[in-house]
Amino acid sequence: MLIPLAFYPWGLSLQAEETPATSEVKPSTWQFMPVDPAVSPAPVASYLDETYTLGAGDVIRVDIFNVPEYSADKGTYPVRVDGTIGVPLVGAVDLQGMTVEDAAQVLTARYAPLLTRPPRLTVTLVRARPVRIAVAGEVKRPGTYVVDFAGQTTATRDSFSGVQLPTLTEAIQASGGVTYQANVRDIEVIRPQRSGQHLVLRANLWDLIQRGDLDQDLRLRDGDRVIVPIVTNPPESDSVQVARANFSPESMNVQVVGEVAGAGNVEVPANASLNQAILAAGGFKDPRAQTSSVDLVRLNPNGTVERRTLEVNLADSPNEETNPILRPDDVVMVARNNIAATSDFLTLLLSPITSVTTILRILGLGL
């Protein structure tokens, strides 16, 4: 246990705490990935996931007891691109990758030779930098996303009273949501560390949507990488549950062609079934549509095309045999019934005769 720096009129000064025992670590939650695979992973303290480190774009405030000319508004400094701040008397101080507590200790040491009394100071994070996150894998729009913080925030040490860092589900939402093949049970968040190693956090969003486990919705940091893996042929029941979650796309586009009232591209909810798509297209065109069955055409991720003929009952609940859950860009084909097909054939067959008869009548040569 380190000795506290001091108590101040406005509250408790920074104080280092004992490192929690490694027995508190949940191995299933995170692990280190060393840069060199031959290096054994270092032990991880349970508070490590919540540690915020300073970087370019952060703004901190330094308060020195009994030195108002270097405190409060006069002691507010942005962290520059190179990770330093410019401090009166002291000059440039490198704070890149330090916690707020580390920064207080470094500044205390730098001020000590310059003041008549040992400095007693606090460091506060007043505005957090934008968080840049990469999202890859089974999401609709993989890529890099930047989340900025509006307004002023207040935070000391490693806990925040005002900073709300983005969550895992918010990052997935920003990337358009998960695809139907996303393995939400084993999502990885890869976090760079000052040591050069990478901390791997694992999240099970299935537990979030089934049991409301908020611990799975991790708070993200600047530089985090989110990897959403793929699962082959997920169970239909799982797909329905995931599609209802707020980290899935709200809607998808399918094609409904043939004998329906509004044939063409149709926007439906992400977990829509075959019947919902037909109804969204205006329903069967009466009396031309074949209402007993339709064809479902699907382009699979491996490039193959699947075509199925399905019996249809618009009163059925979702099921794989007659009313399956659709996927984005599925095509539903509604054919003509026998009466409509016969009528169309006769119309086509007789149209030349009808045209000739009409011309003869106009010329006065017809009967």
CA within 13 Å, CB half, 134: 10
Provide the whole-model pTM: 0.66
Q: Are 63 and 72 in contact (CB under 8 A)?
A: yes
Provide the residue ranges of all domains of the chain, joining segments of one domain with +: 251-336
Torsional class of 283: left (φ above 0), alpha (ψ -120 to 50), beta (otherwise): left
Could you give the CA distance from residue 339 to residue 141 in angstroms, rounded to a whole number? 46
Q: What is the pLDDT along the chain (367 residues), one digit of tens a residue?
A: 333 333 333 333 333 333 333 333 333 333 333 333 333 333 333 333 456 789 998 999 999 998 899 888 899 999 999 999 999 989 999 999 888 999 999 999 999 998 888 889 999 988 888 889 999 999 999 999 987 654 334 443 334 444 577 899 999 999 999 998 899 999 999 998 877 788 899 999 999 999 999 999 998 888 999 999 998 877 777 887 888 899 999 899 999 999 999 999 999 988 889 999 999 999 998 888 888 999 999 988 778 899 999 999 999 988 889 999 898 889 999 998 777 666 666 666 666 655 555 555 555 555 4
Which CATH class, in words, describes the domain spanning 251-336?
A: alpha beta
Q: The dihedral of CA 213, 214, 215, 217: what is its sign?
A: positive
Q: How far is CA 263 from the centre of its chain?
A: 33
